[in-house]
Amino acid sequence: MNENVEKKLWKNVYKVLPSLKSVPFLKMVAVCNNLAFGKVDEESDIDLFIVSEKGRLFMVRFLVTLILQLKGVRRHGKEVAGKFCLSFFVDEEFMNLKKIAIENDIYLSYWIKTIVPVIDDGVYLKFIDENKWTDDFFAEKTSRDDHQKIEINSGYKKIWTWVLNGVFGDFLEFVLRKWQMKRAKIKAEKADGKASLLIQEHILKFHNIDRRSYYRDLWFAKYGVGSKLTKEKFLSL
Protein backbone atom coordinates (compact mmCIF):
# COMPACT_ATOMS: atom_id res chain seq x y z
CA MET A 1 0.00 0.00 0.00
CA ASN A 2 1.20 3.50 -0.84
CA GLU A 3 0.49 5.72 2.17
CA ASN A 4 1.01 8.93 0.20
CA VAL A 5 -1.58 7.83 -2.35
CA GLU A 6 -3.98 6.87 0.43
CA LYS A 7 -3.64 10.29 2.07
CA LYS A 8 -4.17 12.02 -1.27
CA LEU A 9 -7.35 10.03 -1.96
CA TRP A 10 -8.80 10.77 1.47
CA LYS A 11 -8.02 14.44 0.91
CA ASN A 12 -10.03 14.26 -2.31
CA VAL A 13 -12.92 12.73 -0.37
CA TYR A 14 -13.10 15.52 2.18
CA LYS A 15 -12.89 18.18 -0.53
CA VAL A 16 -16.24 17.12 -2.02
CA LEU A 17 -18.15 16.49 1.20
CA PRO A 18 -19.24 20.11 1.80
CA SER A 19 -21.05 20.03 -1.55
CA LEU A 20 -22.57 16.58 -1.10
CA LYS A 21 -23.96 17.29 2.35
CA SER A 22 -26.43 19.74 0.76
CA VAL A 23 -28.04 17.06 -1.43
CA PRO A 24 -31.68 16.59 -0.35
CA PHE A 25 -32.77 13.10 0.74
CA LEU A 26 -29.17 11.90 1.02
CA LYS A 27 -28.86 9.62 4.05
CA MET A 28 -25.32 8.26 3.85
CA VAL A 29 -22.14 8.46 1.80
CA ALA A 30 -19.54 5.80 2.58
CA VAL A 31 -16.14 5.11 1.10
CA CYS A 32 -15.81 1.44 0.14
CA ASN A 33 -13.68 -1.09 -1.72
CA ASN A 34 -9.90 -0.57 -1.97
CA LEU A 35 -9.62 2.80 -0.21
CA ALA A 36 -11.70 1.50 2.70
CA PHE A 37 -9.62 -1.69 2.69
CA GLY A 38 -6.41 0.34 2.86
CA LYS A 39 -5.19 -1.24 -0.37
CA VAL A 40 -4.54 1.43 -3.00
CA ASP A 41 -1.95 2.33 -5.62
CA GLU A 42 -1.34 5.09 -8.15
CA GLU A 43 -4.16 3.87 -10.40
CA SER A 44 -6.83 3.61 -7.69
CA ASP A 45 -10.13 5.41 -7.85
CA ILE A 46 -12.50 6.26 -4.97
CA ASP A 47 -15.58 4.05 -4.69
CA LEU A 48 -18.64 5.45 -2.93
CA PHE A 49 -21.64 3.60 -1.52
CA ILE A 50 -24.64 5.92 -1.24
CA VAL A 51 -27.94 5.53 0.62
CA SER A 52 -30.95 7.70 -0.12
CA GLU A 53 -34.28 8.25 1.52
CA LYS A 54 -37.01 5.88 0.33
CA GLY A 55 -38.64 7.15 -2.84
CA ARG A 56 -35.78 9.51 -3.78
CA LEU A 57 -33.09 7.14 -5.03
CA PHE A 58 -32.97 8.45 -8.58
CA MET A 59 -33.05 12.09 -7.54
CA VAL A 60 -30.12 11.57 -5.18
CA ARG A 61 -28.16 9.69 -7.83
CA PHE A 62 -28.77 12.45 -10.36
CA LEU A 63 -27.71 15.23 -7.99
CA VAL A 64 -24.60 13.47 -6.66
CA THR A 65 -23.51 12.59 -10.19
CA LEU A 66 -24.13 16.15 -11.39
CA ILE A 67 -22.11 17.68 -8.55
CA LEU A 68 -19.10 15.42 -9.05
CA GLN A 69 -19.30 15.82 -12.82
CA LEU A 70 -19.29 19.62 -12.54
CA LYS A 71 -16.33 19.45 -10.18
CA GLY A 72 -14.48 17.29 -12.71
CA VAL A 73 -13.85 14.51 -10.21
CA ARG A 74 -16.20 11.80 -11.43
CA ARG A 75 -14.70 8.67 -12.94
CA HIS A 76 -15.50 8.49 -16.62
CA GLY A 77 -13.95 6.62 -19.52
CA LYS A 78 -10.18 6.44 -19.06
CA GLU A 79 -10.22 9.05 -16.29
CA VAL A 80 -9.86 6.69 -13.33
CA ALA A 81 -7.01 7.47 -10.93
CA GLY A 82 -8.14 9.66 -8.03
CA LYS A 83 -11.67 10.00 -9.46
CA PHE A 84 -14.97 9.05 -7.82
CA CYS A 85 -16.75 5.89 -8.93
CA LEU A 86 -20.52 6.10 -8.47
CA SER A 87 -21.64 2.56 -9.06
CA PHE A 88 -23.65 1.57 -5.98
CA PHE A 89 -26.79 3.30 -4.72
CA VAL A 90 -29.58 1.96 -2.50
CA ASP A 91 -32.43 3.51 -0.61
CA GLU A 92 -33.41 2.81 3.00
CA GLU A 93 -35.59 -0.11 1.90
CA PHE A 94 -32.60 -2.05 0.55
CA MET A 95 -29.93 -1.81 3.23
CA ASN A 96 -29.88 -5.55 3.99
CA LEU A 97 -27.46 -6.65 1.27
CA LYS A 98 -28.01 -10.34 1.93
CA LYS A 99 -30.61 -9.99 -0.83
CA ILE A 100 -27.81 -9.71 -3.38
CA ALA A 101 -25.22 -12.01 -1.76
CA ILE A 102 -23.92 -15.05 -3.58
CA GLU A 103 -23.31 -18.32 -1.74
CA ASN A 104 -20.49 -17.96 0.81
CA ASP A 105 -20.03 -14.32 -0.15
CA ILE A 106 -16.67 -13.63 1.50
CA TYR A 107 -16.06 -10.44 -0.46
CA LEU A 108 -19.41 -8.78 0.22
CA SER A 109 -19.18 -9.62 3.92
CA TYR A 110 -15.76 -8.00 4.22
CA TRP A 111 -16.92 -5.06 2.10
CA ILE A 112 -19.88 -4.41 4.42
CA LYS A 113 -17.72 -4.48 7.54
CA THR A 114 -15.13 -2.09 6.15
CA ILE A 115 -17.17 0.72 4.59
CA VAL A 116 -16.27 4.11 6.06
CA PRO A 117 -19.23 6.50 6.44
CA VAL A 118 -18.19 10.10 5.82
CA ILE A 119 -21.71 11.55 5.70
CA ASP A 120 -24.24 9.90 7.96
CA ASP A 121 -27.81 10.91 8.76
CA GLY A 122 -28.27 8.19 11.36
CA VAL A 123 -28.22 5.38 8.80
CA TYR A 124 -24.84 3.69 9.32
CA LEU A 125 -25.71 1.90 12.56
CA LYS A 126 -28.97 0.70 11.03
CA PHE A 127 -27.05 -0.55 8.00
CA ILE A 128 -24.66 -2.53 10.21
CA ASP A 129 -27.57 -3.90 12.25
CA GLU A 130 -29.41 -5.09 9.14
CA ASN A 131 -26.28 -6.87 7.96
CA LYS A 132 -25.48 -8.80 11.12
CA TRP A 133 -25.59 -11.94 8.98
CA THR A 134 -21.99 -11.11 8.01
CA ASP A 135 -20.82 -11.78 11.60
CA ASP A 136 -20.77 -15.51 10.89
CA PHE A 137 -17.93 -15.02 8.40
CA PHE A 138 -15.54 -13.38 10.88
CA ALA A 139 -13.20 -14.80 13.49
CA GLU A 140 -14.00 -11.92 15.86
CA LYS A 141 -15.91 -8.68 15.99
CA THR A 142 -14.52 -6.13 13.58
CA SER A 143 -14.18 -2.38 13.90
CA ARG A 144 -13.52 0.30 11.33
CA ASP A 145 -11.13 3.21 11.51
CA ASP A 146 -12.71 6.43 12.75
CA HIS A 147 -12.71 9.11 10.09
CA GLN A 148 -14.15 12.56 10.52
CA LYS A 149 -17.80 12.59 9.53
CA ILE A 150 -19.71 15.60 8.25
CA GLU A 151 -23.19 15.48 9.67
CA ILE A 152 -26.12 16.42 7.45
CA ASN A 153 -27.31 19.73 8.88
CA SER A 154 -26.99 22.02 5.88
CA GLY A 155 -29.49 24.84 5.57
CA TYR A 156 -29.53 24.36 1.80
CA LYS A 157 -30.41 20.70 2.31
CA LYS A 158 -33.37 21.63 4.51
CA ILE A 159 -34.67 24.12 1.95
CA TRP A 160 -34.36 21.75 -1.00
CA THR A 161 -35.85 18.89 0.97
CA TRP A 162 -38.88 21.05 1.74
CA VAL A 163 -39.23 22.11 -1.91
CA LEU A 164 -38.88 18.57 -3.28
CA ASN A 165 -40.76 16.68 -0.60
CA GLY A 166 -44.23 16.90 -2.11
CA VAL A 167 -46.02 16.33 -5.41
CA PHE A 168 -43.40 18.17 -7.45
CA GLY A 169 -40.66 16.01 -5.95
CA ASP A 170 -42.68 12.85 -6.67
CA PHE A 171 -43.08 13.91 -10.29
CA LEU A 172 -39.39 14.76 -10.66
CA GLU A 173 -38.43 11.41 -9.11
CA PHE A 174 -40.75 9.65 -11.58
CA VAL A 175 -39.14 11.41 -14.55
CA LEU A 176 -35.61 10.76 -13.33
CA ARG A 177 -36.39 7.11 -12.58
CA LYS A 178 -37.85 6.52 -16.03
CA TRP A 179 -34.90 8.23 -17.73
CA GLN A 180 -32.17 6.57 -15.68
CA MET A 181 -33.66 3.09 -15.85
CA LYS A 182 -33.97 3.36 -19.63
CA ARG A 183 -30.29 4.31 -19.92
CA ALA A 184 -29.26 1.65 -17.39
CA LYS A 185 -31.08 -1.12 -19.23
CA ILE A 186 -29.35 -0.14 -22.47
CA LYS A 187 -26.02 -0.43 -20.64
CA ALA A 188 -27.04 -3.79 -19.19
CA GLU A 189 -27.84 -5.15 -22.64
CA LYS A 190 -24.29 -4.34 -23.76
CA ALA A 191 -22.63 -5.83 -20.67
CA ASP A 192 -20.98 -9.25 -20.73
CA GLY A 193 -21.39 -12.13 -18.30
CA LYS A 194 -18.71 -10.79 -15.95
CA ALA A 195 -20.79 -7.76 -14.96
CA SER A 196 -23.02 -7.33 -11.92
CA LEU A 197 -25.77 -4.92 -12.84
CA LEU A 198 -28.88 -4.44 -10.72
CA ILE A 199 -31.43 -1.93 -11.93
CA GLN A 200 -34.42 -1.82 -9.61
CA GLU A 201 -36.61 0.65 -7.78
CA HIS A 202 -34.57 0.44 -4.56
CA ILE A 203 -31.08 -0.40 -5.83
CA LEU A 204 -28.76 0.67 -8.63
CA LYS A 205 -25.55 -1.35 -8.87
CA PHE A 206 -23.20 -1.02 -11.83
CA HIS A 207 -20.09 -3.18 -11.56
CA ASN A 208 -18.58 -4.11 -14.90
CA ILE A 209 -16.68 -7.01 -13.34
CA ASP A 210 -18.11 -9.00 -10.43
CA ARG A 211 -15.13 -10.53 -8.61
CA ARG A 212 -17.03 -12.07 -5.72
CA SER A 213 -16.91 -15.65 -7.05
CA TYR A 214 -13.22 -15.21 -7.80
CA TYR A 215 -12.42 -14.07 -4.25
CA ARG A 216 -14.58 -16.79 -2.72
CA ASP A 217 -12.89 -19.54 -4.72
CA LEU A 218 -9.46 -18.08 -4.02
CA TRP A 219 -10.29 -17.96 -0.31
CA PHE A 220 -11.42 -21.60 -0.25
CA ALA A 221 -8.32 -22.70 -2.16
CA LYS A 222 -5.98 -20.86 0.21
CA TYR A 223 -7.71 -21.20 3.59
CA GLY A 224 -10.35 -23.87 3.16
CA VAL A 225 -14.13 -23.94 3.55
CA GLY A 226 -15.24 -22.63 6.92
CA SER A 227 -12.12 -20.57 7.61
CA LYS A 228 -13.03 -17.30 9.34
CA LEU A 229 -12.27 -13.87 7.90
CA THR A 230 -9.57 -11.60 9.28
CA LYS A 231 -8.16 -8.43 7.75
CA GLU A 232 -4.74 -9.98 7.34
CA LYS A 233 -6.07 -13.06 5.55
CA PHE A 234 -8.36 -11.09 3.25
CA LEU A 235 -5.71 -8.58 2.23
CA SER A 236 -3.31 -11.42 1.46
CA LEU A 237 -5.53 -12.74 -1.32
pLDDT tens string 88-147: 999 999 999 999 999 999 999 999 999 999 999 989 999 999 999 999 999 887 655 555
pLDDT at 101: 96
The answer to whether the CB of 73 falls within 8 A of the CB of 45 is no
Sheet of strand 196-199: strand arrangement: 116-120, 26-32, 46-52, 84-91, 203-207, 196-199
Q: At residue 217, what are phi and psi to the nearest 5 degrees?
A: -65, -35
**Model confidence at 194, in pLDDT bands (50, 70, 90)?**
low
Q: Is 210 exposed, middle or buried (0-12, 13-18, 19+ CB in 10 A)?
A: middle
Dist CA 147 CA 106 (whole Å): 25
pLDDT at 201: 92
Domain membership of residue 136 as a residue range:
3-235
pLDDT at 79: 87
Strands 203-207 and 196-199, bridge-based pairing: antiparallel
Dist CA 108 CA 206 (whole Å): 15
Work out the average pLDDT over 193-208: 82
pLDDT digits (tens, 9 = 90+) for 151-163: 666 778 888 889 8
198 pLDDT above the threshold of 90 = no
The answer to whether the CB of 116 falls within 8 A of the CB of 144 is yes
Q: How many domains does the chain have?
A: 1
Work out the average pLDDT over 57-81: 94
| Residue, of 141 and 15, whose pLDDT is higher | 15
CATH of the domain at 215: 3.30.460.10
pLDDT at 172: 96
pLDDT at 143: 58
- Share of residues in the chain with pLDDT > 70 (%): 92
